[in-house]
Each structure stands twice: as C-alpha cells, then as structure tokens.
Amino acid sequence: MSGRGDTRLAAWLLAPSLAFVVVVGAFPVLSQFVLSLWRYNLKFAEERAFVGLGNYAALVRDAVFWRDLWQTTWFTGVSVSLELALGLAAALLLHGMRRGRTAVTASTILPWALPTVVAATMWSLLLNDRIGLVNSVLGRLGLMGEPIVWLGPGLAMVSVIVADVWKTTPFVAIILLAGLKSIPREYYEAANLDGAGRWRSFTGITLPLLKPFIAIAVLFRAMDAFRIFDLIWVLTGGAGGTETVSVAIYRTLFRYSELGYGSAMTVSLFFIVFALSLLLIRSMKVASEPR
C-alpha cells in the first residue's frame, strides 16, 4: 500500500499544520529578516531607511551585544553542566529505587512543570536579603555577618543559575532515567562475573551507553538556556550582570522601539542557536556511532 493514493492522503493530512505554520509563522519570521536590513525606529518611523547589512556591521562593533553574548554563553555553559551532573546523579538514584519511586519521581519533576514566573517568585522569596530563608538560615548558623544581597551585582548571575538549575535539572534527570532503563541488566551481570567493580561498570558500561541520551538532554537544554528570558526578567530584570541576548532583544524592540536593530539581534540569535544545535547534533551522531 504505497504510491499515488498514499502520497495524496499524506498531503491532505499534512496540509492543515503546514498551512498554519505558513500563515501564522512565516510572516513574523520572514519580517524579522527583512526588518533587520532597515534602520527603523518606531518613534521616528518617517526616517526609516534601507541600510543593507548595516545593522549587522553595527552589531559586530557593539560592546554591549558582545557582553550580553558572553553572559548568555557563560549562563548556558555553567547551568547546563550543573544540570547534567546533578541530573545524572538524580537519575542514578531514581533508577536504583524499588519502593517509593513514584513519590520521589513526582516530587522531582514538580519544579520542571511550574511556570517559570512562579519558580522565579519562589526563588526571590528564598533569596530576599531581608525576609529570605537562605539569609535567615545562614545567620542562625553564624555564617553571615551583613545580610547577603543575592540578587545584587556580583551574585545575581549565581542566583539566576541556581534557580535555573533547580527548575530544569528534573528534565535532564527524566531523559537520563530513560537511558538507564534501556541498558540491559545482563551487561552488568557479565561485568560483575568478570570481577569489574561498580566504578568500572559505571565508566565502562553506563556512561558509553548513556551518551546519546546525554547528547539529547544537552541539546534541548542548551537551546533553551541560550534563549532564556522570563526567569531573568522576573528575578533581576537583567540587572547586575545578568542581561542575556533575549533580554537585550526585549529591551531594544519594546523599550527603545528599535525594530531594525532588534530584528538584526533576533536573526543573529537564531543563527547562533542553529549553529549550536548543529554542533550538538553532530557530536550526538559521533557519540552514538558503534565502535
């Protein structure tokens, strides 16, 4: 059962969603590409002019853009690494459980399912310098003199990373747990017979077979982390060295009304995330090739 009728049916089934993507999606995406070639401030709309790649040339020389790009990269690198390490630990702990797994898994995925705004509110309550739980506990233990301003300059990025790690480690843990479940038990039994210890089994069996799962978790997380907006917008508003590219685009488009320049930033972010995902997909392929 293939051939003409089959292909025609497929076209009919695909038509609604393709039409939807084109009607709702194509216009906003393409207009960003077009706008990025114009000097266009909404407040001075009559002065708009075609500038070709001028916005991109300005972007390359824009120190604030480079700073934000660096802060975004730093945020992505540190938080995804921590999420991977903690997510792996959590997956191993959950995998070894016989009783009570449902309850622990449910409480583990809870942070992931929350609105980011809610997670951000929760963390601003924990980290508040006057009424926050963290400072109170540190004070009681005698570990703190002056109240620590967690969301101020210097520590703001650390706080944002902690909140992000808390919220998204569950996602990594669930993906890696699926990976652990896919490894046949016999492999470990055989290794055990050969006298391999737990560490040896972990580095020799678990890690290599987990690689494709690690790659997928890192791919999804890195793509989201690089475009992060709401957590930072609510926690710090981008102050204290936490402005990422998405927050900068929001500022440029909606505060400064710089449609042209903001669109050039959007298109650049798109290509950076695209390149990042290609890189990760390639490493994923390398990782899952049989040796």
264-283 residues near other proteins, rule: CB under 8 A: 266-267, 269-270, 273-274, 277
Interface stretch with other proteins, choices 3-11, 45-53, 56-64, 68-76 (CB under 8 A)? 3-11
Range 77-96, binding other proteins (CB under 8 A) = 89-90, 93-94, 96
Range 103-142, binding other proteins (CB under 8 A) = 103-111, 113-119, 121-123, 125-126, 128, 130-131, 133, 136, 139-140
Smallest gap from Cβ 196 to other proteins, in A, equals 20
Beta carbon nearer to other proteins, 181 or 193: 181
Query: Which residue in 50, 66, 70, 254 binds other proteins (CB under 8 A)?
Result: 254
Beta carbon nearer to other proteins, 12 or 199: 12
Beta carbon nearer to other proteins, 14 or 57: 14
Instruction: Answer for the pair 68, 243: CB distance below 8 angstroms, yes or no.
Output: yes
CA 154 → CA 74, 159, 246, distances in Å? 14, 10, 21
Structure tokens, 75: 């945020």
| Helical (H) or strand (E) element with 38 | strand 38-39
Structure tokens, 274: 């695209």
Residue 252 DSSP symbol: I
DSSP per residue, 46-96: GG-EE-TTHHHHHHHT-HHHHHHHHHHHHHHHHHHHHHHHHHHHHHHHHHT
- Within 96-184, residue ranges assigned H as helices are 101-113, 116-127, 133-140, 156-182
Task: Give which of 37, 10, 4 is closest to 261, Cα–Cα.
Answer: 37
Alpha carbon distance 123, 189 (integer Å):
44
- Binding to other proteins by residue 63, rule CB under 8 A? no
Range 182-241, binding other proteins (CB under 8 A) = 182, 212-213, 216, 223, 227, 229-230, 233-234
- Binding to other proteins by residue 41, rule CB under 8 A? no
Beta carbon nearer to other proteins, 10 or 194: 10
Beta carbon nearer to other proteins, 18 or 53: 18
- Binding to other proteins by residue 158, rule CB under 8 A? no
